[in-house]
Amino acid sequence: MASSVDDGADSEGGWCTIESDPGVFTAMITELGVKGVQVDELVDLSEEAFVAANLACPVFGLIFLFKYDQVLAAPASEPLSTAETPHHLIFSRQVIRNACATQALLAVLLNARQRGLQLGPLLTEYAEFAQALDAETRGELLANARDICAVHNSFSPLRGILLEEDPSLRNLLPREDVFHYVSYVPLGGKVYELDGLQTGPSAVGTFDASLLAPGTPDSKQQLPTAEAQHHNDLAWVCVALRAVRQRISRASNQELRFSVLVVHRDPRPELQVRASGGDQVAASLLAQEEAKHARWQLDTTLRRMDLVPLAIRLLILFADHGHFVELLEEAKRKREQQVANHAEHS
């Protein structure tokens, strides 16, 4: 997956840009207090590829990330009015640009309460308060949610921190592309597109919801079996993927940079149980998952490290040994070549 930044080139309202990486999103979910949920990238948008990916159920939502384009950003259908929006569907307008990634993630998590997901103290309180508000006020609520903002900013690259300390550095850095996030969630037999730039959610299709988990967070009904849950996930995800493909087809003549992230249950607990019972396939899959999470943890640790003192020390050493000017000229040549290549293909 190509790393990208949230849609906004600077820190706004105290929110910094973050990378749209599955490992970042998974760690963020955990630090927000939600357990047993992870994010993976769906590299193929076909229904067959989703089935082959064999992701752990339930799938709580999809997040469509794309380089902002007016054609791609157009909603699938006319946004619903407040009166038309289901009471239990939590939709928020986008108020802070740099919070767009976290807003898309929250759109999935908050609405997953309808399917029995336990959000933890922080997001449960936030969801209960947000439920009674209109979409615009919910956007303001997120903009002022200091605890959520602190978690979000903890994943911001050091670049954002430096710009906070010295905004004049902005002109020395290459301008980043603007990216936008749209969430897709199931509710009551319909799939909804949640785009904070719109006035309301859009219904993009229907599916058989007879096997859905309880319709209210406090329901005591038994959750569906694994087989039924997989059938249900396949039904609604196919509707969402079709909506994403339709968006992409509208911009087929333009540069396309996008990714689809899947928010779903962490498969490791179930794999651990199966592996302990002698299931060799489960043991192999568990090893792959553990290795992936270890890579994510290392990447997250490196993102949070202040490597500026190390970089400065290396530059001093290069200068002391007479290599600084040579390396600087080489870097300039590479940058000029990158600019020329970009201009040639744009």
pLDDT higher than threshold 70 for residue 305: yes
Domain 22-265 has what CATH class? Answer: alpha beta
* 80-131 confidence digits (pLDDT tens): 888 898 989 999 999 888 888 999 999 999 999 988 899 999 999 999 999 9
DSSP secondary structure letters along 196-217:
TTSSS-EEEEE---TTPPPSST
pLDDT higher than threshold 80 for residue 7: no
pLDDT higher than threshold 70 for residue 310: yes
Say if CB 164 and CB 216 are below 8 A apart: no
| Residues 6 or more apart in contact with residue 323 via CB below 8 angstroms | none
Mean pLDDT across the chain: 82
Marked catalytic residue, from 57, 100, 152, 230: 100
Query: What pLDDT, on a 0 to 100 scale, did the predictor assign at position 60?
Result: 95
User: Strand, coil or helix: what is 101?
Assistant: helix
Residue 337 pLDDT grade (very low, low, confident, very high; cuts 50, 70, 90): confident
Return the half-sphere exposure (C-beta side, CA atoms, 13 A cut-off) of residue 285: 20
What are the residue boundaries of the structural domains of the chain, listed by start?
Answer: 22-265, 308-344
* Burial (0-12, 13-18, 19+ Cβ within 10 Å), 120: middle
Say if CB 287 and CB 275 are below 8 A apart: no
| Residues 6 or more apart in contact with residue 105 via CB below 8 angstroms | 25, 28, 29, 63, 183, 263
Marked catalytic residue, from 16, 57, 149, 180: 180
Instruction: Please indicate whether residue 180 is annotated as part of the active site.
Output: yes
pTM: 0.80
* 249-280 confidence digits (pLDDT tens): 877 666 677 889 999 999 999 999 999 999 99
Return the half-sphere exposure (C-beta side, CA atoms, 13 A cut-off) of residue 24: 24
332 versus 216: the higher-pLDDT residue is 332
63 versus 224: the higher-pLDDT residue is 63
pLDDT higher than threshold 50 for residue 9: no
pLDDT higher than threshold 70 for residue 326: yes
Instruction: Please indicate whether residue 149 is annotated as part of the active site.
Output: no
